[in-house]
Structure 1
Amino acid sequence: MSSPAPSPPLIPPSFYFRPSMRCPRVDGIPRGGKGRLLGLPESCALPCFGLIDGRAPWAEVRAAWNPEGLAVSVEVTGKPGTLLHAPDRPEDSDGVQLWVDTRDTRDIHRASRHCHRFIASVVPGKGKALDAAVRQAKIARATADAPTADPGPIRSTAERTRTGYRLELFLPASVLHGFDPETNRRLGFCYRVTDPDRGDQHLTVGREFPVGEDPSLWATLELSDDG
């Protein structure tokens, strides 16, 4: 008689990690004209700590910085079909949510005015065309909200790939209250890539914890001068 399969732990192993990751400097982005907005190199790829919990990733997230702001790209695989865009519920659409703390305050459980939340979703167009929609959103239970920024300077693009889609966005310093790499090279950072069919992929822990409102659960990006 075979032994029953062990039950998964009540607390996933990734909960015990507060990772700190290198974020390379990439100058010359965002690019103008035709072609890729970012085209971040492989050296910008972030590890997926969900693997510690046995969750296989289906999206690759890359991050880079320069004095102008923060760049993030998301490439989703295994999603060749229909993409969902719900304008009234962008957080439930195909896309990504980003949380950025320009002070990397890791000992607080409620967001401060230096904590930001952005929702970027893919918008299907005619044929295989894709667009991107980006908006700033409030963080629940925050002690103070980040200033509401003009979304105009945010740059974003989306395109289909052979097996899914690629979403690139550049958050300029003007939308990141307190972003000052000359005096602070550490950013609190978290992401949630959403697929209405497959659920979510998180950088570390998922929705079983209040990751969207508790900065102590976020990771750290160390802004490096090495490309």
Structure 2
Amino acid sequence: MSASTTPPPPPLIPTSFYARFALACPKVEGIPRAGKGRLLDLPDACILPALAEIDGRSPWAEVRVGWNAGGLGIAVEVSGKPGTLSRVADRPEESDGLQLWIDTRNTRDIHRASRYCHRFIATVSPGEGKALVAELRQAKIARASADSPTADPSELLASAHRTRTGYRLELYVPASALHGFDPETNRRLGFSYRVTDPDRGDQHLTVGREFPVGEDPSLWATLELMEG
């Protein structure tokens, strides 16, 4: 019988650190939707690839992104989360939910956020009965060389619903909340996300908290705003 072999340890620096990803973001007219149904209902073409698999991490959240002249729509469907959701009032970034970082200039050679860089935090918490409460807010970026203008909180849209195995969170960030957002002249945005689950940890678009993703735009991926 041959001796068992111990698998090699993971690399100190993940493979995704060395890559610079450009991801397609389709145009989706008619969002946000009016009425009591889904806020977005983004099509499958908007699904972002599970880049975490490059580093051997299994994704548990599906993220979709679409755009139109009015702004950006982001949807997250978390699976394997049938139980209680956690909301930490004084630390929303550690609650069940999503963080977004968006650079409307896609400046890849800076390590401190500019006024075109934005951070948003969305949380999901239990409401009445089986309902969920979704909140979306703007937050400052640590070590930023300049802060983006403060968005009107009433313009940030969020909704959440339970699914069979977890929850679905849908967000719409209007152009008025994205300083410098101008698809007529620039179709490339810097972009990163972090889906947080206090029980399981985080799912990142690329590298995780071992790197300063939340404050260094050079670590973000690129969204290419496509017409179709």
With the shorter chain as reference, the TM-score category is over 0.9
Determine the C-alpha separation between the residues in 2 that align with 1:223 and 1:80.
Answer: 34
The one of 46, 49, 52 aligned to 1:47: 49
**How many Å apart are 1:128 and its aligned residue?**
1.1
Give per-residue Cα distances to partners, 1:64-95, cap 9 Å, x unaligned.
Answer: 00000000000000000000011211100000
- Quote how far apart the aligned CAs of 1:7 are: 1.2
Q: Map of 1:16-165 to 2, 5 A cutoff?
A: 16-165=18-167
Query: CA–CA distance in 2 between the matches of 1:163 and 1:217?
Result: 32
SS in structure 1 at match of 2:52: helix
Cα deviations across residues 139-161 of structure 1 (Å, max 9, x unaligned)?
Answer: 00110010111111111100100
Secondary structure, counterpart of 1:188 in structure 2:
strand
Secondary structure, counterpart of 1:10 in structure 2: coil
* Matched residue type, 1:76: V
Q: What residue identity is the alignment partner of 2:151? A: A
Letter in 2 for 1:128: K
For 1:133 and 1:4, locate their aligned partners in 2 and report how far apart those are by CA, in whole Å.
Answer: 45
User: Which amino acid is the alignment partner of residue 135 of structure 1?
Assistant: R
The CA distance in 1 between the partners of 2:7 and 2:205, in whole Å, is 27
> How far has the Cα of 1:2 moved from its partner?
2.4
* Residue of structure 2 aligned with 1:195, choices 197, 201, 214: 197
Partner of 2:4: 2
Structure 1: unaligned runs, 5 residues or longer: none
Calculate the TM-score normalised by the size of structure 2. 0.98
Which stretch shows the higher mean deviation, 135-144 or 2-11? Answer: 2-11
**2-structure distance, mates of 1:43, 1:156:** 21
Displacement over 3 Å in runs of 4+: none
User: What residue number does 2:208 align with?
Assistant: 206
Distance 1:173 1:3 in 2: 54
Unaligned runs of 5+ in 2: none
The letter of the residue matching 2:52 is G
Q: Is the contact between residue 137 and residue 156 of structure 2 (CA under 8 Å) also seen in structure 1?
A: no
C-alpha displacement at 1:216, in angstroms? 0.4
Query: What amino acid does structure 1 have at the position aligned with 2:106?
Result: D
> Superposition RMSD on alpha carbons, in Å?
0.7
- TM-superposed CA distance for 1:3, in Å, is 2.7
- Please state how far the C-alpha of 1:131 moved relative to its aligned partner: 1.3
Matches of 1:139 and 1:102 in 2, distance apart? Answer: 15
